[in-house]
Amino acid sequence: MEFRIAETFTQSLARLPAKEQKAAKTTAFDLQIDPSSPGLKFHRVERSRDPHFWTVRVNDDLRIVVHKTDGNFLLCYVDRHDDAYGWAEKRRIEAHPTTGAAQFVEFVHHVVEETAFGGAAPRSGYGAQAPLAPAAPGVFDQLTDETLLRYGVPPDWLDWIRQTDEDGLFDLEGHLPQEALEALLELAVGGKPAPPVVAPPSADPFAHPDAQRRFRTVANVDELRQALESPWDKWTVFLHPSQRELVERRYGGPARVTGSAGTGKTVVALHRAVHLARRSDDARVLLATFSKALAQALKVKLSHLLDSGDPAAGHITVTYVDGVAHRLFEDAFGVTPNIASVSQVEAALTAAAKERGETRFSHRFLVNEWRHVVDAWQLRTWEAYRDVSRLGRRTRIGGNQREALWALFERAQAILKARNVVTWAEAVARVAEHHRGREKKPFTAAVIDEAQDISIPQLRFLAALVPDGPDALFFAGDLGQRIFQQPFSWLSQGVDVRGRSSTLKVNYRTSHQIRRRADLLLPAQVRDVDGVEDQRKGTISVFDGPEPDVGLFDTAEDETAYVAAWIAGIVADGVAPEEVGIFVRTSDQIDRAKAAAKQSGHPWVTLQDRGDAENGRIAIGTMHLAKGLEFKAVVVMACDDEVMPLQERIESASEESELDEIFETERHLLYVACTRARDRVCITGVEPGSEFLADLLEVSSRSRS
């Protein structure tokens, strides 16, 4: 017999107080060990039209709803006695007649009674009893039964769906099977969703990919324990079929998954690492990202996915790229790399220019040329510098000037060498060189999250750490969130993801309203240097929320007062202070965020000082630290003119192409900050305000004074 848990079980379990969760888990473990144990008290749900629903007693108050057939035992739901029975009476489980996927099908009239959803009475089925007024024809009214069925819409919902619109659909979140809801949302925005797989009639309905995202087989108590440990993190157990497919696919070479913020790229990267770790006893998987803080966050998430005793844990190294480079440098060369500070590099450039009597180039230009060209590409000879494609840099440098520049950079390299320091790029490149061409590699595979911010030497380094073959390199990232590195050709580093790049389209984090507004900051398509395109259009969010609040104020005091009242309001509405994040562009604006938090009457903590369990405190930080985080409500403050984009950066540009790059990455930063929000976002500034706010205000224009 197959023992399974449903997503609805883990969700309902998470809603219970801790003590009751424990009691319910104990009963769940007893059921998994032996469902026929005489100590377990089963009662049939008499009023359910599905004869297979039973309840099992947890204690006087709580019941677990299970679905029992000859070959299957499914934990469905847990709640107080009457609510548990009520839940089972409203549903049935059946294989969809077209796709073959096992689904919970809710009876239409129950849903209509519970939600604001309106529509005409269906022509048949259980919902025929519902006395309702007809609604206006919606976006789906032209769709045939056959089309709707192909998307997994349950048959008794067909008429309802045809008579609703996009807004009505959001009321059905949690009521319609997820695959049907997602397909309809995509159709509503003009997309063409791929219809779900159609299983052959003889196939097991629970084995269908869409069924697997809501029902999971658990083979033993350990697997059940693991699945119930972090029930609030649905992604640990139930993946979207498109996510699962990427996790398990065999790739002939380097692969990349993209998708806008909140589409589950990190989730896919984590599962992929675990999947690769389990494939072989010799697996040595590197799971890495570009910063220490993000790597720490990955570690925490991986611990949700893997039990501490899980053997896969021993096959995965989670770290940040420079961290692994540092360790491998020591392993390879027997010494700790002595990394040059920014000021040491700048001093070397100044000294080299002075020695050579070179006054034609500004200090800014030299620093940028060094950073983005000489050091990034690790150029060591005049020929290499002469021939490098100065990608993105448009200042034309004539032959003589170039030679003079090279002499200066070569001298700066010598100065740094004499001081016995190396840049990060050099350290990473030296380790890459050490491992390139060697038979035995430090890792069998590398999975890289936030890959849009990987630098040129880091990419080359990662490629050198794993074998050349299939499934060795997997990247997850979003070009629209690139905030640190300049774009460059991955192909030039021997990493070819063409034909092995996929885009995730379902946003799990952010409400429809926030995602739609944040998307206005970025183009609908982003193309990387090698021509691989990332289509940002057609992404859907599966839940609804309030419109973002965007406002400009006459003074910073007015802004503070507004933000304070906004926060006080949402906390009064039930949002816990630790579920609120305030982001500002740089540390210069942090005091404005602190003032707003203080005036709201709630304590706060800065992201740098935040511990793991910082309950009751609003989180405050700069936008760069927002990466990898998420909050129920986010305030993006101080979006003033000269702050966003940052004037200081604009002034540092030594050529036009750098300006383009600065504007682009500043936009990305704002996008990252806004998309940390799940339900509510408030974006404010002082008049005249950041030019980017005009894009955000496009949907509904508003200005306060």
Ligand X SMILES: Nc1ncnc2c1ncn2[C@@H]1O[C@H](COP(=O)(O)OP(=O)(O)OP(=O)(O)O)[C@@H](O)[C@H]1O
The annotation places the binding site at 259-266
d(CA 68, CA 29): 16
545 touches ligand X by CB under 6 A: no
- Of the pair 269, 550, the CB lying nearest ligand X is at 269
| Residue listed under structure tokens 């480079």 | 325
306 touches ligand X by CB under 6 A: no
243 touches ligand X by CB under 6 A: yes
Output the known binding site for ATP. 259-266
Q: How many residues bind ligand X (CB under 6 A)?
A: 21
d(CA 530, CA 491): 7
Which of 168, 259, 545, 621 binds ligand X (CB under 6 A)? It is: 259
Euclidean distance between the first and final Cα of the chain, in Å? 67
- Identify which range of 227-235, 451-459, 537-545, 569-577 contacts ligand X by CB under 6 A: 227-235
475 touches ligand X by CB under 6 A: no
d(CA 627, CA 509): 14
Residues 6+ apart with CB under 8 A from 83: none
Burial (CB count within 10 angstroms: exposed 0-12, middle 13-18, buried 19+), residue 97: exposed
- Of the pair 413, 539, the CB lying nearest ligand X is at 539
- Of the pair 119, 264, the CB lying nearest ligand X is at 264
Nearest partner of 561 among 602, 591, 596, 601, judged by Cα: 596
Distance set, CA 188 to CA 91, 94, 149, 482 (Å)? 27, 26, 16, 30
- Identify which range of 52-60, 131-139, 239-247, 461-469 contacts ligand X by CB under 6 A: 239-247
238 touches ligand X by CB under 6 A: yes
Of 498-537, which residues contact ligand X (CB under 6 A)?
508-509
Nearest partner of 212 among 184, 185, 248, judged by Cα: 248
d(CA 682, CA 547): 9
Shortest Cβ 503–ligand X spacing (Å)? 11
Nearest partner of 43 among 82, 95, 90, 12, judged by Cα: 82
* Beta pairing partners, 289: 320
- Of the pair 42, 508, the CB lying nearest ligand X is at 508
Shortest Cβ 209–ligand X spacing (Å)? 12
d(CA 531, CA 489): 9
- Of the pair 238, 474, the CB lying nearest ligand X is at 238
Residue at 587: amino acid letter: S
- Of the pair 66, 270, the CB lying nearest ligand X is at 270
- Of the pair 483, 618, the CB lying nearest ligand X is at 483
Residue at 502: amino acid letter: S
Shortest Cβ 649–ligand X spacing (Å)? 23
- Of the pair 450, 559, the CB lying nearest ligand X is at 450
Report yes or no: 675 and 515 within 8 Å, Cβ to Cβ. yes
Distance of CA 525 to the CA centre of its chain: 18
- Of the pair 258, 444, the CB lying nearest ligand X is at 258
Nearest partner of 395 among 424, 423, 366, judged by Cα: 366
d(CA 626, CA 194): 33
Shortest Cβ 305–ligand X spacing (Å)? 11
Report yes or no: 684 and 564 within 8 Å, Cβ to Cβ. no
- Identify which range of 157-165, 255-263, 339-347, 607-615 contacts ligand X by CB under 6 A: 255-263
266 touches ligand X by CB under 6 A: yes
- Of the pair 181, 367, the CB lying nearest ligand X is at 181
- Identify which range of 30-38, 82-90, 133-141, 265-273 contacts ligand X by CB under 6 A: 265-273
Report yes or no: 699 and 520 within 8 Å, Cβ to Cβ. yes
Shortest Cβ 243–ligand X spacing (Å)? 6
Both structure tokens of 623: 């936008």
Phi, psi of 5 (to 5 degrees): -120, 150
Nearest partner of 187 among 241, 139, 154, 138, judged by Cα: 139
**Stretch 657-686: interaction string toward ligand X, x if CB under 6 A:** ------------------x-----------
**Stretch 624-663: interaction string toward ligand X, x if CB under 6 A:** ------x---------------------------------
> Which DSSP string corresponds to 194-225?
PPPPPPPTTS-GGGSHHHHTTEEE--SHHHHH
Report yes or no: 682 and 563 within 8 Å, Cβ to Cβ. yes
- Of the pair 426, 679, the CB lying nearest ligand X is at 679
Shortest Cβ 68–ligand X spacing (Å)? 26
287 touches ligand X by CB under 6 A: no
Nearest partner of 35 among 81, 79, 77, 68, judged by Cα: 68
474 touches ligand X by CB under 6 A: no
603: preceding bond cis by omega (within 30 degrees): no
Of 562-601, which residues contact ligand X (CB under 6 A)?
none
Specify the length of the chain in residues. Answer: 705
**Stretch 312-331: interaction string toward ligand X, x if CB under 6 A:** --------------------
695 touches ligand X by CB under 6 A: no
Which of 235, 361, 553, 692 binds ligand X (CB under 6 A)? It is: 235
390 touches ligand X by CB under 6 A: no
**Stretch 102-131: interaction string toward ligand X, x if CB under 6 A:** ------------------------------
208 touches ligand X by CB under 6 A: no
Which of 182, 210, 375, 478 binds ligand X (CB under 6 A)? It is: 478
Shortest Cβ 549–ligand X spacing (Å)? 21
Nearest partner of 125 among 108, 144, 145, judged by Cα: 108
- Identify which range of 187-195, 229-237, 431-439, 618-626 contacts ligand X by CB under 6 A: 229-237
Q: Which residues bind ligand X (CB under 6 A)?
A: 233-235, 238-240, 243, 259, 261-267, 478, 481, 508-509, 630, 675
